[in-house]
């Protein structure tokens, strides 16, 4: 590999990590409990999918999906 090509690849890897890291952090945070969210910055010790279930029922997504299907059809 040429020197210029290597430099470009290294820069692209660094930029990719810069842009992907918030997405990974967001994903990890969504699997944490409220206590764990503020106490531990690393991946969750015990992943909890309850946050997604709670959001699903609190926001009434099922009704939103039905409305979208009705409007689309």
Q: What is the pLDDT of residues 20-44, one digit of tens each?
A: 999 999 989 888 888 888 887 778 8
pLDDT at residue 65 is higher than 70: yes
**Within 10 Å of residue 18's Cβ, how many Cβ atoms?**
9
pLDDT (0 to 100) of residue 16: 98
pLDDT (0 to 100) of residue 1: 65
Residues 6+ apart with CB under 8 A from 62: 56
């Amino acid at each position: 590999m040429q020197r210029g090509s290597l430099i470009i690849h290294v820069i692209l890897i660094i930029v990719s990590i810069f842009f992907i890291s918030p997405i990974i952090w967001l994903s990890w945070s969504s699997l944490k409990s409220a206590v764990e969210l503020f106490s531990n910055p690393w991946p969750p010790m015990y992943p909890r999918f309850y946050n997604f279930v709670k959001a699903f029922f609190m926001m009434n997504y099922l009704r939103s999906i039905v409305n979208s299907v009705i409007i689309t059809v």
